[in-house]
């Protein structure tokens, strides 16, 4: 049983790394958020980013029309900026605690997380050119 679990864990990690290398957004659960972004504790609002590259976190839901419209643009910037930033996505219907933590009241909501400093939350649909401009401004300081 341990061998099966270990094999499954290795495959999951390999898949996640492969997705990022190909420039695809990576889904985050509460558990993976705590590993890759911030190991938060209820009541502690201190921000401590764990990543080794800046990231965007898209808070979305499958029923949301603007979220579905944003998806291909998110894919484009994930490919264009592969190796420079991470592009994550959080399904607000499945990850209620994360949505509550960030006070998500409208979607899509995009959290731009620089390597240092305060993250910036932007709400609403944007196309690839707007995303690229915001990545350069907030994450890459270009």
Active site (catalytic) residues: 64, 67
Alpha helices for the chain (secondary structure H): 2-21, 30-36, 65-80, 96-101, 128-134
Residues 35 and 9: their CA atoms lie apart, in Å, by 15
Alpha-carbon distances, residue 43 vs 23, 40, 82, 119 (angstroms): 34, 9, 34, 18
């Amino acid at each position: 049983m341990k061998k099966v679990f270990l094999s499954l864990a290795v495959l999951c990690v390999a898949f996640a790394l492969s997705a990022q290398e190909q420039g695809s957004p990576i889904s985050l659960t509460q558990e993976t958020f705590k590993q890759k972004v911030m190991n938060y504790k209820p009541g502690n609002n201190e921000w401590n980013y764990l990543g080794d590259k800046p990231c965007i976190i898209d808070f979305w839901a499958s029923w949301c029309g603007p979220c579905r419209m944003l998806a291909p643009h998110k894919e484009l910037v994930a490919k264009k900026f592969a190796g420079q930033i991470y592009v994550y996505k959080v399904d607000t219907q499945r990850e209620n605690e994360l949505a509550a933590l960030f006070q998500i009241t409208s979607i899509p909501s995009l959290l731009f997380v620089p390597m240092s400093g305060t993250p910036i939350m932007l709400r609403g649909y944007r196309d690839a050119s707007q995303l690229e401009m915001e990545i350069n401004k907030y994450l890459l300081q270009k």
